[in-house]
């Protein structure tokens, strides 16, 4: 049995709980857009009775090009996320890239996320663990499922047992990712809840030369497969106008397509966890 990681009285990962949704725009584009997207997703998850955490990055530090949009930065980004927390009454998640960021971000973030490319950075991983916040680790595209065991040990060394582990695809040749569904039950063998990132898994890193491409049409298929494998949370980047998005538009889900995906996911989740 995977242990239960408690965020608050309404949001619990793992155990016998249904899946939690972690969703929002890839990067913070504006306060208005974050509030608009967060409110729209919350209306859907309230109807479907799915626990929801808002996510958006204040800095996307691993963009393809020096010209790529990264976000508003730490201070302005945290102000926007604080606004989302207050106005929409939602917990929030964002990426943390440095030890210095971890200390400041811990004052606002409910879940602190280790980006995939930084998942082996020991000092960062332990600094985030030491904050005592819930930590979501994106398994690097270069890691095998069992390699995540070492990352878990690093976080546990800080005394923090509030850990989530995210699968977001593995590099398969150039500019392509593939998801090995066996990784989901294997990572759950750590005893911690597992998250499936349904939108970064369809990303084509650097596929457009100076930016990444993506195949959002495959998100529903991979979502159903991952839910069927028994995950504990679903990570999705969503947007009201993906074609206008400043970051990861090709793999983000349109809000008006989200409800149907989640309805199917919830039906499968019920079969898996009650069957």
Q: What pLDDT digit, counting tens, does each position of 81-103 carry?
A: 999 999 999 999 999 999 999 99
Nearest to 17 by CA among 268, 236, 271, 232: 232
- Domains belonging to the chain, first-starting first, are 5-274 (3.20.20.70)
Rounded-to-integer distance, Cα 132 and Cα 111, Å = 10
Q: What share of the chain is helix, strand, coil (3-state, %, to 5)?
A: 40, 20, 40
Q: Is pLDDT of 9 > 80? A: yes
Give the pLDDT of residue 209.
66
Determine the average pLDDT of the residues in 168-175.
92
Rounded to the nearest 5 degrees, what angle is found at the Cα of 154, between the Cα atoms of 195 and 74?
65
Determine the average pLDDT of the residues in 36-63.
95
Q: What is the pLDDT of residues 196-246, one digit of tens each?
A: 999 999 988 776 666 677 789 999 999 999 999 999 999 999 999 999 999
Give the pLDDT of residue 234.
98
pTM: 0.95
Q: Torsions phi, psi of 144, nearest 5?
A: -80, 160
Share of the chain above pLDDT 90, in %: 85
Nearest to 91 by CA among 23, 14, 183, 180: 23
Rounded-to-integer distance, Cα 163 and Cα 128, Å = 11
Give the pLDDT of residue 210.
65
Give the pLDDT of residue 207.
65
């Amino acid at each position: 049995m995977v242990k239960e990681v408690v965020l608050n009285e309404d949001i619990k990962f793992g155990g016998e709980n249904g899946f939690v949704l972690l969703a929002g725009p890839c990067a913070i584009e504006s306060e208005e857009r974050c509030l608009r997207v967060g409110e729209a997703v919350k209306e859907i998850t309230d109807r479907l009775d799915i626990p929801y955490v808002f996510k958006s990055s204040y800095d996307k530090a691993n963009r393809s090009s020096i010209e790529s949009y990264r976000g508003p930065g730490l201070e302005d980004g945290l102000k926007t996320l604080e606004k989302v927390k207050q106005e929409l009454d939602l917990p929030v998640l964002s990426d943390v890239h440095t030890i210095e960021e971890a200390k400041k971000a811990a004052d606002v973030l409910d879940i602190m996320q280790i980006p995939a490319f930084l998942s082996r950075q020991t000092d960062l991983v332990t600094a985030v663990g030491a904050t005592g916040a819930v930590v979501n680790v994106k398994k690097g595209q270069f890691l095998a499922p069992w390699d995540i065991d070492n990352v878990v040990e690093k976080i546990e060394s800080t005394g923090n047992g509030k850990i989530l582990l995210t699968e977001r695809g593995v590099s398969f040749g150039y500019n392509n990712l593939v998801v090995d569904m066996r990784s989901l039950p294997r990572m759950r063998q750590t005893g911690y809840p597992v998250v499936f990132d349904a939108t970064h898994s369809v990303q084509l890193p650097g596929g457009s030369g100076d930016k990444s491409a993506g195949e959002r049409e495959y998100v529903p298929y991979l979502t159903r497969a991952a839910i069927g494998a028994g995950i504990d949370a679903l990570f999705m980047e969503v947007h009201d106008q993906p074609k206008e998005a400043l970051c990861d538009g090709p793999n983000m889900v349109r809000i008006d397509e989200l409800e149907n995906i989640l309805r199917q996911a919830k039906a499968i989740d019920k079969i898996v966890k009650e069957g």
